[in-house]
Amino acid sequence: MTSSIKSLVTVVAPEESVDTVIRRMAKESRDVKNPGIVVVLDEQDVLLGIMTDGDIRRAYSDDIPFSSEISTIMIKEPITISEKIPEDSMASEVIRKVQLDERHHSEWIRHVLVVDDKNRLTNIIDYLDILQDHNGSVNRVAIFGMGYVGVTLAVSLANRGHQVTGIDVQRSVVDSLNQGESHVFEPGLSDMLATNLKRKSIDFGTILESERHQVYIVAVGTPLDLDSKPDLVSLTEVLKVISGVLQSGDQVMLRSTVPVGVTRETVIPYLENKTGLIAGEDFYVSFAPERTIEGRAMYELKTLPQVVGGYSSQCVKRSTAFWSTLTPTVVRVDSLEASEMVKLANNTFRDLSFSFANELALLADKYNVNSFDLVNAANEGYPRNKIPLPSPGVGGYCLTKDPILFSCTAEGPRADAVLGISSRKVNEKAKFYPIELIERYAKRLQVPLSELNILIIGIAFKGMPETTDVRASVAIDVFNELNSRVNQIFGWDAVINSKELQGMGFKVIEDIVEIIDHTDVVLILNNHPDNVCSDMYASSQDGRLIFDGWNQLDRVAVEKIPGLIYATMGYMTP
């Protein structure tokens, strides 16, 4: 044993009596750096356990004879960390290990032992010093809702040193995540999940089993009911759980997209009434909108500015400190309502801008004008605005829902709301534009709609960045509208496997090039680059309509192929 260890702490053998150890502690109290702690080592200096003043008091209270061997009252599995951990990661790893330990609340821990690969003591770290230096920037975090928003955030926070528990009501989701298998397709997510499971910095459950969390993040969905009224049932269920464990000093953060005012008017009163605690004084409430794009979430969580609004200045300060552990830029706004509006503003503006392009395409249709060419001509060299390109509708969970939430209170639609509702109407109409073209095509060929075989390419709601998400997918809605009206509908997607597509109702295909010869209509409904393949578009003696929803094909080249009819937003081969 090195003399440096003897200078740090009292070292004893496991067979020494409690009385002997107490006397040695008293004798060496002025000679060691940590006088209130004893480490128990075997003959090879391997760490066996640890004992503190508190353990002695508990032994006395439990009437344990002081003639007993010290091994009877020592903590046999003390918190340790490896000496091989890089210096810049040491603090976060110490905090993570302490918060992970189920035997103690972190405020009871004073010392963490550093060991080598043979479990021999090499150093002792003062946990209180670490906490003071680290300013509480590593926390035990509970995140409710393991959808796209929740699971990507949970893994990202764990990767930054936080101890994270992900909660979801679906047992299949929880079991899959605990086995390292993500139900969410997101580049980089699976590898990061596996790493943090191995480090034990993340776990998942259907209920909140541990009450020791400092941060509670709500990331459950807020869908719309049949009357376009926000459904806050999942949010209320989460608040019920949080109110049962909330303690002074804890933070509650909303990540779910909600109508403006819900955090102040619904969340805070509920928690205050259930707990007796006062928001802004006893616990801290903030709203931090999620704004990542599927397919780049793991990157954007580290790089996008995080917007924070709080109930009080202390709420904002604490929330800012927390989010600063994840992203380099935190933007503070003046209120909870301002931060609630940020996400709604971002997504409603996008949907509104797309609706302008799509209404332009629907107007262009009356004159058989290719709307992509039209928009490109309008944008060329013009410095004051860039019109977005049109598309067959706008899909995805957020863009189809958030403009309605923008137009709502918690009770339902606002009487003065205009733009969000209008953009949704236009984009819903654009979504079914391909069906209008199919009807025209059938009439042109004098073929009943019921005899047509259709291939839909691009089933995910978007192609780039690629995803497997089919929530609010244009392709799914078009399929549902056509399924009972046509002969067969085949489906193909560059990312989603055929078994999943079959489960959605599509006819399964093994060879997309071969199936082209047996289809009357090809609809390209997302913008994945693999949608474009010259071999896929063979000539047709009977005629075939190809709807190029994202302008990925060469119109002139397609129209040169005998039997092919080209169509896109606003245009069909005359």
Instruction: Share the mean pLDDT of the chain.
Output: 89
CATH number of the domain that 69 lies in? 3.10.580.10
Return the pLDDT at 95: 66
Q: Is residue 216 part of a domain?
A: yes
Return the pLDDT at 105: 39
Q: Burial level of 475, CB count in 10 A (0-12/13-18/19+)? A: buried
Return the pLDDT at 98: 65
**163 & 258 share domain:** yes
Return the pLDDT at 520: 94
pLDDT at 2 over 80: no
In angstroms, the CA 348 to CA 355 distance is: 10
CATH number of the domain that 247 lies in? 3.40.50.720
Domain boundary among 99, 118, 134: 134
**248 & 394 share domain:** no
**169 & 266 share domain:** yes
Cβ count within 10 A of residue 427: 25
Return the pLDDT at 99: 59
Q: Per the structure block, which two tokens stand in for 338?
A: 């301002």
In angstroms, the CA 417 to CA 514 distance is: 50
pTM: 0.74
> Once rounded to an integer, what is the mean pLDDT over residues 560-574?
94
DSSP percent split of the chain into helix, strand, coil, nearest 5: 40, 20, 40
pLDDT band for position 507 (50/70/90)? very high
Return the pLDDT at 146: 97
pLDDT at 133 over 60: no
**368 & 468 share domain:** no
Using DSSP, how many helices (H) and how many strands (E) does the chain show?
Answer: 22, 22
Residue with tokens 């002792």: 124
Range of the domain at 25: 3-134
Select the highest-mean-pLDDT range: 41-55, 166-180, 221-235, 528-542: 166-180
Q: Is residue 317 part of a domain?
A: yes
Q: Assign 3-class secondary structure to 144-195.
A: ECCCHHHHHHHHHHHHCCCEEEEECCCHHHHHHHHCCCCCCCCCCHHHHHHH
> Once rounded to an integer, what is the mean pLDDT over residues 412-421?
87
pLDDT band for position 482 (50/70/90)? very high
Q: Per the structure block, which two tokens stand in for 397?
A: 């969970």
547, amino acid identity: F
CA neighbor of 106 nearest in space, from 209, 204, 213:
213
In angstroms, the CA 244 to CA 246 distance is: 6
CA neighbor of 337 nearest in space, from 272, 267, 418:
267
> Do 461 and 470 contact (CB within 8 A), yes or no?
yes
In angstroms, the CA 85 to CA 75 distance is: 24
**Gyration radius of the chain over CA positions:** 31
**126 & 151 share domain:** no
Q: Is residue 403 part of a domain?
A: yes
Tens digit of each residue's pLDDT (9 = 90 or more) over 302-344: 899 999 999 999 999 999 999 988 888 999 999 999 999 999 9
**385 & 458 share domain:** no
Upstream peptide bond of 465 is cis (omega within 30 degrees of 0): yes
In angstroms, the CA 347 to CA 294 distance is: 14
**298 & 358 share domain:** no
pLDDT at 395 over 70: yes
pLDDT at 268 over 90: yes
> Do 111 and 127 contact (CB within 8 A), yes or no?
yes
Domain boundary among 334, 367, 391: 334
Residue with tokens 């009437």: 63
Tens digit of each residue's pLDDT (9 = 90 or more) over 78-126: 888 888 887 666 666 766 666 566 554 333 456 778 888 888 888 887 6
Q: Is residue 414 part of a domain?
A: yes
pLDDT at 177 over 90: yes
Return the pLDDT at 56: 84
Q: Per the structure block, which two tokens stand in for 436?
A: 């209008």
**261 & 319 share domain:** yes
**469 & 448 share domain:** yes
CATH number of the domain that 419 lies in? 1.10.1040.10
In angstroms, the CA 398 to CA 350 distance is: 11
Is the pLDDT higher at 84 or at 362? 362
pLDDT at 136 over 50: no
Tens digit of each residue's pLDDT (9 = 90 or more) over 203-262: 999 999 866 789 999 999 988 887 778 899 999 999 999 999 999 999 999 999 999 999
**216 & 280 share domain:** yes
pLDDT at 543 over 50: yes
Tens digit of each residue's pLDDT (9 = 90 or more) over 5-54: 778 888 999 999 999 999 988 888 778 877 778 899 988 889 998 888 77
In angstroms, the CA 460 to CA 173 distance is: 20
In angstroms, the CA 544 to CA 567 distance is: 11
Q: Is residue 510 part of a domain?
A: yes
**251 & 355 share domain:** no
Domain boundary among 397, 429, 461: 429
**111 & 158 share domain:** no
Q: Is residue 387 part of a domain?
A: yes
Q: What is the DSSP letter of 388?
A: P
pLDDT at 528 over 70: yes
Return the pLDDT at 207: 93
Q: Is residue 59 part of a domain?
A: yes
> Once rounded to an integer, what is the mean pLDDT over residues 263-292?
96
Q: Is residue 339 part of a domain?
A: no
The two beta strands, 544-548 and 521-524, are parallel
pLDDT band for position 129 (50/70/90)? low
Return the pLDDT at 135: 47
In angstroms, the CA 483 to CA 531 distance is: 22
The structural domain count of the chain equals 4
Cβ count within 10 A of residue 439: 12
Q: Per the structure block, which two tokens stand in for 175?
A: 């079991």
